Amino acid sequence: MNPPDIDRLLAATLADQRLTGGEKTALADALGLADLDDAKRAFVRHRAFALARAESASPDAVTAIDWLEDVVKLLAPAPVAPLAPTADAFFTPGDDCVGAIAGAIRRLKQFADVCVFTITDDRICEPLLDAHRRGVQLRILTDDEKSHELGSDVYRLLSAGVPLRMDRSPYHMHHKFAIFDGVTLLTGSYNWTRGAALNNKENILFTSDGRLVRSYGRLFERLWDEFA
């Protein structure tokens, strides 16, 4: 099921700001809920929050959020024994970091939120553009000052239609993190530049720790709204 179909299904149940028992059953069947993996469940939750956020400007905001709570409960996976979060680290100089980042982008299934100080390495920009072309929903936050430097890929991404926002202040948006399919967090000192791979002593960390993924996800949403 593609993103527009998912939005239509969710919007139909949001119309009266209630998720009735019948709607829960119909939505679960239409989504194939029993067969959804964690990444697909995260994507549906992502779209439900987006719809509720759009509705929250209306007087019906409270009931819309109640609807959202019911949808999120429906999408919650059945309780299972918790798995230990996975983690991996990479370091520079060398191509380990850029290879790990590009590989994670190529494996994307549904969406990614990227928040990095600067993007100048085509070995990362190209996989981002490929992901965008195959329907992955991308959002990128970056520093406005760095976007004007020689070699920046910011306007290349913008011209391709990738949703991208920049800070508008004399200070730097200096974060370097990304969230892939709502289940994997990438963070560390590494800027997405060729120089960082060739010369700098940098690091990145991948983790599936849900607590950290959610914490960085909340930060991304705050910054996305702030840079609108």
Active-site residue among 40, 176, 209, 225? 176
User: In angstroms, how far is CA 96 from the centroid of its own chain?
Assistant: 23
Q: Is 149 helix (H, G, I), strand (E, B) or coil?
A: coil
User: In angstroms, how far is CA 174 from the centroid of its own chain?
Assistant: 18
Amino acid letter for position 193: T
**Would you call 132 a catalytic residue per the annotation?**
no
**Would you call 181 a catalytic residue per the annotation?**
yes
Phi and psi, residue 138, nearest 5°: -105, 145
Amino acid letter for position 74: L
CB 6 within 8 A of CB 47: yes
Of the candidates 47, 52, 48, the residue with the CA atom closest to the CA atom of residue 71: 48
3-state DSSP: the chain helix, strand, coil percent, rounded to 5? 50, 15, 35
Side-chain-facing half-sphere of 48: CA atoms under 13 Å: 27
Active-site residue among 73, 148, 172, 174? 174
Active-site residue among 121, 153, 167, 181? 181
**Would you call 174 a catalytic residue per the annotation?**
yes
Q: For residues 175 and 187, what is the distance between their CA atoms, to the nearest angstrom?
A: 9
Q: For residues 154 and 109, what is the distance between their CA atoms, to the nearest angstrom?
A: 23
User: Looking at the annotation, which residues are catalytic?
Assistant: 174, 176, 181
